[in-house]
Amino acid sequence: MGDPFGLIGRWFMDLLTGWGMESSAALTLLRFLGAGVMAIVLLFACFFLIVAERKMLGRFQDRYGPNRIGPFGIFQTIADFVKLIGKEIVVPAGIDKPLYWLAPLLVVMSIIGMWAVVPLAPGFRGTDLNVGVLYLVSVGAIGTLGIIMAGWSSNNKFAMLGAFRAVAQLVSYEIPMVLMLLVPTMLSGTMGVVGIVEAQSEMWFIVAAPLAALVYLISSIAENGRAPFDLTEGESEIVAGFNVEYGGLAFGMFYVGDFLHAFTVGALFSTLFLGGWRGPGAEQYPLLGLFYFFLKTIAVWFVTVWIRGSFPRVRIDQLLALNWKFLTPLALLIVAVTAVVNKLAVEQGWSRILALLAANVVMAAGVWGALALHGRTVRRREEELRAGAAVSASAAR
Protein backbone atom coordinates (compact mmCIF):
# COMPACT_ATOMS: atom_id res chain seq x y z
CA MET A 1 0.00 0.00 0.00
CA GLY A 2 3.05 2.22 0.43
CA ASP A 3 3.76 3.03 -3.19
CA PRO A 4 1.14 1.54 -5.52
CA PHE A 5 2.17 3.53 -8.60
CA GLY A 6 5.84 2.62 -8.31
CA LEU A 7 4.75 -0.98 -7.75
CA ILE A 8 2.68 -1.03 -10.95
CA GLY A 9 5.55 0.54 -12.90
CA ARG A 10 8.06 -2.01 -11.58
CA TRP A 11 5.66 -4.87 -12.29
CA PHE A 12 5.30 -3.82 -15.93
CA MET A 13 9.05 -3.28 -16.15
CA ASP A 14 9.71 -6.82 -14.87
CA LEU A 15 7.12 -8.22 -17.25
CA LEU A 16 8.66 -6.52 -20.29
CA THR A 17 12.25 -7.35 -19.40
CA GLY A 18 11.08 -10.88 -18.65
CA TRP A 19 9.98 -11.08 -22.29
CA GLY A 20 13.55 -10.39 -23.32
CA MET A 21 13.35 -6.62 -23.86
CA GLU A 22 16.25 -4.31 -23.16
CA SER A 23 15.57 -2.21 -20.09
CA SER A 24 15.99 1.12 -21.92
CA ALA A 25 13.63 0.07 -24.70
CA ALA A 26 11.16 -1.22 -22.11
CA LEU A 27 11.31 2.14 -20.30
CA THR A 28 10.62 4.04 -23.52
CA LEU A 29 7.72 1.73 -24.35
CA LEU A 30 6.34 2.15 -20.83
CA ARG A 31 6.46 5.92 -21.14
CA PHE A 32 4.58 5.86 -24.43
CA LEU A 33 2.04 3.46 -22.92
CA GLY A 34 1.62 5.70 -19.88
CA ALA A 35 1.02 8.76 -22.04
CA GLY A 36 -1.52 6.87 -24.13
CA VAL A 37 -3.37 5.55 -21.08
CA MET A 38 -3.43 9.04 -19.56
CA ALA A 39 -4.89 10.58 -22.72
CA ILE A 40 -7.50 7.86 -23.10
CA VAL A 41 -8.57 8.06 -19.46
CA LEU A 42 -8.95 11.83 -19.77
CA LEU A 43 -11.01 11.54 -22.92
CA PHE A 44 -13.26 8.95 -21.33
CA ALA A 45 -13.58 11.08 -18.22
CA CYS A 46 -15.15 13.67 -20.51
CA PHE A 47 -18.28 11.54 -20.81
CA PHE A 48 -18.96 12.18 -17.15
CA LEU A 49 -17.52 15.68 -16.96
CA ILE A 50 -19.91 16.89 -19.62
CA VAL A 51 -22.95 15.32 -17.97
CA ALA A 52 -21.92 16.65 -14.57
CA GLU A 53 -21.38 20.15 -15.92
CA ARG A 54 -24.70 20.15 -17.73
CA LYS A 55 -26.47 18.88 -14.62
CA MET A 56 -24.86 21.62 -12.51
CA LEU A 57 -25.66 24.31 -15.06
CA GLY A 58 -29.23 23.05 -15.14
CA ARG A 59 -29.53 23.39 -11.38
CA PHE A 60 -27.97 26.87 -11.46
CA GLN A 61 -30.55 27.88 -14.03
CA ASP A 62 -33.43 26.30 -12.13
CA ARG A 63 -34.03 23.34 -14.39
CA TYR A 64 -33.22 19.62 -14.25
CA GLY A 65 -30.54 19.27 -16.88
CA PRO A 66 -30.18 15.99 -18.77
CA ASN A 67 -32.29 13.36 -17.04
CA ARG A 68 -33.59 10.95 -19.69
CA ILE A 69 -30.87 8.43 -20.50
CA GLY A 70 -29.71 6.20 -17.71
CA PRO A 71 -30.14 6.90 -13.99
CA PHE A 72 -30.15 10.71 -13.52
CA GLY A 73 -29.23 11.03 -17.19
CA ILE A 74 -25.60 10.02 -16.70
CA PHE A 75 -25.44 8.29 -20.09
CA GLN A 76 -26.57 11.42 -21.96
CA THR A 77 -23.09 12.12 -23.34
CA ILE A 78 -22.73 8.58 -24.63
CA ALA A 79 -25.97 9.02 -26.55
CA ASP A 80 -24.74 12.36 -27.87
CA PHE A 81 -21.47 10.73 -28.87
CA VAL A 82 -23.27 8.00 -30.78
CA LYS A 83 -25.35 10.65 -32.51
CA LEU A 84 -22.22 12.61 -33.48
CA ILE A 85 -20.58 9.46 -34.88
CA GLY A 86 -23.65 8.73 -36.94
CA LYS A 87 -23.71 12.16 -38.54
CA GLU A 88 -22.79 12.68 -42.15
CA ILE A 89 -19.33 14.17 -42.52
CA VAL A 90 -20.07 17.48 -44.20
CA VAL A 91 -17.10 19.03 -45.97
CA PRO A 92 -17.89 22.69 -46.67
CA ALA A 93 -16.93 24.10 -50.06
CA GLY A 94 -13.69 26.00 -50.38
CA ILE A 95 -12.10 24.82 -47.15
CA ASP A 96 -8.43 24.21 -46.67
CA LYS A 97 -8.65 20.46 -46.07
CA PRO A 98 -5.48 19.53 -44.18
CA LEU A 99 -5.78 22.51 -41.83
CA TYR A 100 -9.51 21.98 -41.40
CA TRP A 101 -8.99 18.45 -40.11
CA LEU A 102 -5.85 19.24 -38.16
CA ALA A 103 -7.33 22.11 -36.13
CA PRO A 104 -9.60 20.14 -33.75
CA LEU A 105 -6.80 17.67 -33.10
CA LEU A 106 -4.44 20.50 -32.11
CA VAL A 107 -7.00 21.99 -29.73
CA VAL A 108 -7.59 18.69 -27.90
CA MET A 109 -3.88 17.84 -28.00
CA SER A 110 -2.88 21.08 -26.33
CA ILE A 111 -5.23 20.44 -23.43
CA ILE A 112 -4.28 16.82 -22.90
CA GLY A 113 -0.63 17.82 -23.20
CA MET A 114 -0.94 19.97 -20.08
CA TRP A 115 -1.54 16.88 -17.96
CA ALA A 116 1.94 15.62 -18.76
CA VAL A 117 3.53 17.69 -16.01
CA VAL A 118 0.76 17.67 -13.40
CA PRO A 119 1.65 15.49 -10.40
CA LEU A 120 -1.50 13.54 -9.57
CA ALA A 121 -0.14 11.91 -6.42
CA PRO A 122 3.27 11.48 -4.82
CA GLY A 123 5.34 9.54 -7.35
CA PHE A 124 2.51 9.52 -9.89
CA ARG A 125 3.09 12.01 -12.68
CA GLY A 126 3.93 12.17 -16.35
CA THR A 127 7.29 13.84 -16.09
CA ASP A 128 9.09 16.26 -13.80
CA LEU A 129 10.20 18.93 -16.26
CA ASN A 130 12.44 21.58 -14.71
CA VAL A 131 10.60 24.17 -16.84
CA GLY A 132 7.14 22.75 -16.17
CA VAL A 133 5.40 26.09 -15.69
CA LEU A 134 6.68 27.42 -19.00
CA TYR A 135 5.72 24.14 -20.62
CA LEU A 136 2.11 24.73 -19.56
CA VAL A 137 2.17 28.13 -21.29
CA SER A 138 3.75 26.78 -24.45
CA VAL A 139 1.29 23.91 -24.76
CA GLY A 140 -1.57 26.36 -24.27
CA ALA A 141 -0.22 28.44 -27.16
CA ILE A 142 -0.71 25.47 -29.48
CA GLY A 143 -4.42 25.52 -28.68
CA THR A 144 -4.60 29.15 -29.84
CA LEU A 145 -2.98 28.05 -33.05
CA GLY A 146 -5.61 25.35 -33.51
CA ILE A 147 -8.39 27.89 -33.09
CA ILE A 148 -6.95 30.30 -35.64
CA MET A 149 -6.43 27.41 -38.07
CA ALA A 150 -10.03 26.30 -37.62
CA GLY A 151 -11.33 29.81 -38.24
CA TRP A 152 -9.22 30.42 -41.32
CA SER A 153 -9.59 27.06 -43.01
CA SER A 154 -13.39 27.01 -42.71
CA ASN A 155 -13.76 29.66 -45.45
CA ASN A 156 -16.54 31.36 -43.51
CA LYS A 157 -16.79 35.00 -42.42
CA PHE A 158 -18.22 34.18 -39.02
CA ALA A 159 -15.64 31.51 -38.36
CA MET A 160 -12.94 34.01 -39.26
CA LEU A 161 -14.42 36.69 -37.00
CA GLY A 162 -14.72 34.17 -34.20
CA ALA A 163 -11.09 33.19 -34.67
CA PHE A 164 -9.99 36.83 -34.58
CA ARG A 165 -11.93 37.39 -31.38
CA ALA A 166 -10.59 34.20 -29.89
CA VAL A 167 -7.00 35.08 -30.64
CA ALA A 168 -7.37 38.65 -29.37
CA GLN A 169 -8.82 37.26 -26.17
CA LEU A 170 -6.49 34.32 -25.66
CA VAL A 171 -3.30 36.21 -26.43
CA SER A 172 -4.33 39.11 -24.18
CA TYR A 173 -5.30 36.99 -21.22
CA GLU A 174 -2.14 34.95 -21.56
CA ILE A 175 -0.22 37.95 -20.17
CA PRO A 176 -1.75 38.12 -16.68
CA MET A 177 -1.82 34.32 -16.59
CA VAL A 178 1.88 34.02 -17.33
CA LEU A 179 2.68 36.78 -14.85
CA MET A 180 0.69 34.99 -12.17
CA LEU A 181 2.49 31.74 -12.93
CA LEU A 182 5.59 33.64 -11.83
CA VAL A 183 4.24 33.97 -8.29
CA PRO A 184 4.27 30.23 -7.39
CA THR A 185 7.61 30.07 -9.20
CA MET A 186 9.05 32.80 -7.01
CA LEU A 187 7.56 31.44 -3.79
CA SER A 188 8.85 27.92 -4.42
CA GLY A 189 12.08 28.88 -6.16
CA THR A 190 11.55 26.38 -8.96
CA MET A 191 9.75 26.20 -12.29
CA GLY A 192 9.10 22.49 -11.96
CA VAL A 193 5.49 21.68 -11.09
CA VAL A 194 6.56 18.86 -8.77
CA GLY A 195 8.82 21.30 -6.94
CA ILE A 196 5.96 23.77 -6.59
CA VAL A 197 3.80 21.11 -4.95
CA GLU A 198 6.70 20.13 -2.66
CA ALA A 199 7.12 23.76 -1.62
CA GLN A 200 3.52 23.94 -0.41
CA SER A 201 4.13 21.49 2.40
CA GLU A 202 3.85 24.12 5.15
CA MET A 203 1.10 26.23 3.61
CA TRP A 204 -0.81 26.41 0.34
CA PHE A 205 0.20 29.27 -1.89
CA ILE A 206 -3.35 30.59 -1.97
CA VAL A 207 -2.77 31.82 1.58
CA ALA A 208 0.49 33.53 0.69
CA ALA A 209 -0.79 34.94 -2.60
CA PRO A 210 -4.60 35.14 -2.67
CA LEU A 211 -4.67 38.01 -5.18
CA ALA A 212 -2.41 36.13 -7.56
CA ALA A 213 -4.68 33.10 -7.28
CA LEU A 214 -7.73 35.22 -8.06
CA VAL A 215 -6.13 36.87 -11.10
CA TYR A 216 -4.90 33.48 -12.28
CA LEU A 217 -8.38 31.99 -11.97
CA ILE A 218 -10.00 34.87 -13.88
CA SER A 219 -7.49 34.76 -16.71
CA SER A 220 -7.68 30.96 -16.85
CA ILE A 221 -11.43 31.13 -17.32
CA ALA A 222 -10.90 33.68 -20.07
CA GLU A 223 -8.27 31.42 -21.65
CA ASN A 224 -10.83 28.67 -21.60
CA GLY A 225 -13.22 30.98 -23.43
CA ARG A 226 -16.37 30.30 -21.44
CA ALA A 227 -18.95 32.51 -19.80
CA PRO A 228 -18.63 35.31 -18.86
CA PHE A 229 -15.81 35.43 -21.43
CA ASP A 230 -17.42 33.28 -24.13
CA LEU A 231 -17.12 35.90 -26.84
CA THR A 232 -15.37 33.40 -29.05
CA GLU A 233 -18.68 31.68 -29.60
CA GLY A 234 -21.26 34.39 -29.05
CA GLU A 235 -24.21 32.58 -30.61
CA SER A 236 -26.27 35.73 -30.99
CA GLU A 237 -23.48 37.74 -32.63
CA ILE A 238 -21.33 35.47 -34.76
CA VAL A 239 -23.43 32.30 -34.90
CA ALA A 240 -21.00 30.05 -33.09
CA GLY A 241 -17.56 31.41 -33.73
CA PHE A 242 -14.57 29.60 -35.09
CA ASN A 243 -16.18 26.15 -35.10
CA VAL A 244 -19.35 27.06 -37.00
CA GLU A 245 -18.47 24.96 -40.05
CA TYR A 246 -17.61 21.84 -38.09
CA GLY A 247 -20.02 18.99 -37.69
CA GLY A 248 -20.01 15.45 -36.40
CA LEU A 249 -17.01 14.25 -34.47
CA ALA A 250 -14.83 17.19 -35.55
CA PHE A 251 -17.21 19.46 -33.67
CA GLY A 252 -17.24 16.89 -30.90
CA MET A 253 -13.49 17.39 -30.54
CA PHE A 254 -13.93 21.13 -29.91
CA TYR A 255 -16.75 20.33 -27.51
CA VAL A 256 -14.66 17.82 -25.60
CA GLY A 257 -11.71 20.23 -25.66
CA ASP A 258 -13.84 22.95 -24.10
CA PHE A 259 -15.13 20.80 -21.24
CA LEU A 260 -11.81 19.12 -20.63
CA HIS A 261 -10.12 22.52 -20.56
CA ALA A 262 -12.44 23.62 -17.75
CA PHE A 263 -11.44 20.56 -15.72
CA THR A 264 -7.79 21.16 -16.55
CA VAL A 265 -8.08 24.72 -15.25
CA GLY A 266 -9.24 23.24 -11.98
CA ALA A 267 -6.35 20.77 -11.92
CA LEU A 268 -3.73 23.44 -12.65
CA PHE A 269 -5.19 25.85 -10.12
CA SER A 270 -5.25 23.24 -7.39
CA THR A 271 -1.70 22.19 -8.25
CA LEU A 272 -0.27 25.69 -8.30
CA PHE A 273 -2.19 27.30 -5.46
CA LEU A 274 -3.98 24.62 -3.43
CA GLY A 275 -1.10 22.26 -2.82
CA GLY A 276 -1.93 19.62 -5.43
CA TRP A 277 -2.13 16.19 -3.82
CA ARG A 278 -1.08 17.48 -0.41
CA GLY A 279 -3.30 16.67 2.52
CA PRO A 280 -3.21 14.81 5.83
CA GLY A 281 -1.67 11.39 5.37
CA ALA A 282 -1.09 11.75 1.65
CA GLU A 283 2.65 11.11 1.92
CA GLN A 284 2.17 7.68 3.49
CA TYR A 285 -0.71 6.65 1.25
CA PRO A 286 -0.32 7.95 -2.32
CA LEU A 287 -3.86 6.86 -3.18
CA LEU A 288 -5.10 9.35 -0.61
CA GLY A 289 -3.07 12.00 -2.46
CA LEU A 290 -4.87 11.11 -5.68
CA PHE A 291 -8.17 11.50 -3.83
CA TYR A 292 -7.17 14.92 -2.41
CA PHE A 293 -5.99 16.08 -5.81
CA PHE A 294 -9.25 15.25 -7.53
CA LEU A 295 -11.25 16.65 -4.60
CA LYS A 296 -9.53 20.02 -4.97
CA THR A 297 -9.74 19.90 -8.75
CA ILE A 298 -13.46 19.21 -8.66
CA ALA A 299 -13.99 22.00 -6.13
CA VAL A 300 -12.24 24.57 -8.36
CA TRP A 301 -14.01 23.19 -11.41
CA PHE A 302 -17.33 23.59 -9.59
CA VAL A 303 -16.47 27.24 -8.93
CA THR A 304 -15.75 27.84 -12.62
CA VAL A 305 -19.06 26.22 -13.59
CA TRP A 306 -20.78 28.33 -10.93
CA ILE A 307 -19.27 31.46 -12.48
CA ARG A 308 -20.35 30.28 -15.88
CA GLY A 309 -23.90 29.81 -14.70
CA SER A 310 -24.08 33.13 -12.88
CA PHE A 311 -22.52 35.89 -14.95
CA PRO A 312 -23.79 37.41 -18.19
CA ARG A 313 -21.49 37.67 -21.18
CA VAL A 314 -19.26 40.77 -21.27
CA ARG A 315 -18.85 42.97 -24.34
CA ILE A 316 -15.63 42.78 -26.35
CA ASP A 317 -14.48 46.24 -25.23
CA GLN A 318 -15.21 45.37 -21.61
CA LEU A 319 -13.29 42.13 -22.03
CA LEU A 320 -10.20 43.84 -23.41
CA ALA A 321 -10.47 46.76 -20.97
CA LEU A 322 -10.66 44.35 -18.04
CA ASN A 323 -7.49 42.68 -19.21
CA TRP A 324 -5.36 45.62 -20.32
CA LYS A 325 -6.52 48.28 -17.86
CA PHE A 326 -7.04 46.16 -14.79
CA LEU A 327 -5.64 42.62 -14.74
CA THR A 328 -2.31 43.26 -16.46
CA PRO A 329 -1.30 46.28 -14.33
CA LEU A 330 -2.50 44.47 -11.23
CA ALA A 331 -0.52 41.37 -12.20
CA LEU A 332 2.62 43.47 -12.68
CA LEU A 333 2.07 45.06 -9.28
CA ILE A 334 1.55 41.66 -7.64
CA VAL A 335 4.72 40.27 -9.21
CA ALA A 336 6.79 43.26 -8.07
CA VAL A 337 5.40 43.32 -4.52
CA THR A 338 5.63 39.55 -4.10
CA ALA A 339 9.23 39.56 -5.30
CA VAL A 340 10.25 42.32 -2.88
CA VAL A 341 8.38 40.94 0.14
CA ASN A 342 9.57 37.41 -0.55
CA LYS A 343 13.15 38.66 -0.69
CA LEU A 344 12.88 40.78 2.46
CA ALA A 345 11.21 38.08 4.58
CA VAL A 346 13.87 35.52 3.83
CA GLU A 347 13.51 33.60 7.11
CA GLN A 348 11.42 30.61 6.12
CA GLY A 349 8.29 29.64 7.95
CA TRP A 350 5.21 31.40 9.09
CA SER A 351 6.56 34.95 9.25
CA ARG A 352 7.23 34.91 5.51
CA ILE A 353 3.72 33.71 4.74
CA LEU A 354 2.21 36.28 7.11
CA ALA A 355 4.27 39.06 5.49
CA LEU A 356 3.11 37.98 2.03
CA LEU A 357 -0.48 37.78 3.23
CA ALA A 358 -0.23 41.26 4.75
CA ALA A 359 1.19 42.62 1.49
CA ASN A 360 -1.71 41.04 -0.38
CA VAL A 361 -4.24 42.57 2.01
CA VAL A 362 -2.67 46.01 1.54
CA MET A 363 -2.71 45.57 -2.25
CA ALA A 364 -6.31 44.40 -2.20
CA ALA A 365 -7.33 47.42 -0.10
CA GLY A 366 -5.47 49.74 -2.48
CA VAL A 367 -7.11 48.18 -5.53
CA TRP A 368 -10.51 48.36 -3.85
CA GLY A 369 -9.98 52.05 -3.06
CA ALA A 370 -8.76 52.84 -6.57
CA LEU A 371 -11.74 51.07 -8.10
CA ALA A 372 -14.18 52.90 -5.82
CA LEU A 373 -12.58 56.23 -6.72
CA HIS A 374 -12.67 55.39 -10.40
CA GLY A 375 -16.32 54.36 -10.19
CA ARG A 376 -17.23 57.61 -8.42
CA THR A 377 -15.45 59.65 -11.12
CA VAL A 378 -17.23 57.77 -13.89
CA ARG A 379 -20.61 58.26 -12.21
CA ARG A 380 -19.98 61.99 -11.66
CA ARG A 381 -18.95 62.45 -15.29
CA GLU A 382 -22.07 60.64 -16.46
CA GLU A 383 -24.24 62.81 -14.23
CA GLU A 384 -22.59 65.97 -15.57
CA LEU A 385 -23.19 64.75 -19.09
CA ARG A 386 -26.81 64.05 -18.29
CA ALA A 387 -27.22 67.48 -16.63
CA GLY A 388 -25.54 69.15 -19.63
CA ALA A 389 -27.85 67.32 -22.02
CA ALA A 390 -30.87 68.40 -20.00
CA VAL A 391 -29.70 72.04 -20.01
CA SER A 392 -29.09 72.06 -23.78
CA ALA A 393 -32.41 70.32 -24.36
CA SER A 394 -34.29 72.96 -22.35
CA ALA A 395 -32.34 75.76 -24.12
CA ALA A 396 -33.26 74.29 -27.49
CA ARG A 397 -36.88 74.20 -26.48
Binding site for other proteins (CB under 8 A): 96, 99, 129-131, 134-135, 137-138, 140-142, 144-145, 148-149, 152, 160, 164, 167, 171, 174, 191
**Minimum distance from residue 344 beta carbon to other proteins (Å):** 18
Helix axes 210-224, 286-310, angle to 10 degrees: 70
**Minimum distance from residue 395 beta carbon to other proteins (Å):** 29
**Is the Cβ of residue 103 or residue 212 nearer to other proteins in the bound state?**
103
Dihedral sign computed on CA atoms, order 304, 310, 313, 318: negative
**Minimum distance from residue 232 beta carbon to other proteins (Å):** 15
**Is the Cβ of residue 164 or residue 285 nearer to other proteins in the bound state?**
164
**Is the Cβ of residue 148 or residue 209 nearer to other proteins in the bound state?**
148
**Minimum distance from residue 148 beta carbon to other proteins (Å):** 6
Buried b (16+ CB within 10 A) or exposed e, 193-226: bbbbbbbbeebbbbbbbbbbbbbbbbbbbbbbbb
Q: Which residues pair with 132 in a beta bridge?
A: none
**Is the Cβ of residue 171 or residue 314 nearer to other proteins in the bound state?**
171
Q: Which residues pair with 121 in a beta bridge?
A: 124
* CB-neighbour burial class of residue 35 (10 A; exposed 0-12, middle 13-18, buried 19+): middle
**Is the Cβ of residue 139 or residue 206 nearer to other proteins in the bound state?**
139
**Is the Cβ of residue 114 or residue 300 nearer to other proteins in the bound state?**
114
**Minimum distance from residue 171 beta carbon to other proteins (Å):** 6
Buried b (16+ CB within 10 A) or exposed e, 230-254: bbbbbeeebbbbbbbbbbebbbbbb
| 353 in Cβ contact with 208 (< 8 Å) | yes
| 355 in Cβ contact with 347 (< 8 Å) | no
**Minimum distance from residue 243 beta carbon to other proteins (Å):** 17
CB atoms within 10 A of CB 82: 10
Compute the distance between CA of residue 69 and CA of residue 183 in angstroms, rounded to an integer: 45
Q: What angle do CA 215, 218, 223 make, to 5 degrees?
A: 120
Compute the distance between CA of residue 319 and CA of residue 137 in angstroms, rounded to an integer: 21
**Minimum distance from residue 200 beta carbon to other proteins (Å):** 20
| 276 in Cβ contact with 202 (< 8 Å) | no
**Minimum distance from residue 28 beta carbon to other proteins (Å):** 9
**Is the Cβ of residue 150 or residue 203 nearer to other proteins in the bound state?**
150
Backbone angles phi, psi at 121, to 5 degrees: -160, 165
**Is the Cβ of residue 139 or residue 322 nearer to other proteins in the bound state?**
139
**Is the Cβ of residue 138 or residue 318 nearer to other proteins in the bound state?**
138
**Minimum distance from residue 189 beta carbon to other proteins (Å):** 9
**Is the Cβ of residue 5 or residue 158 nearer to other proteins in the bound state?**
158
Let me know how long the chain is.
Answer: 397
**Minimum distance from residue 72 beta carbon to other proteins (Å):** 41
Instruction: Please name which of 37, 32, 70 lies closest in space to residue 51, comparing C-alpha atoms.
Output: 70
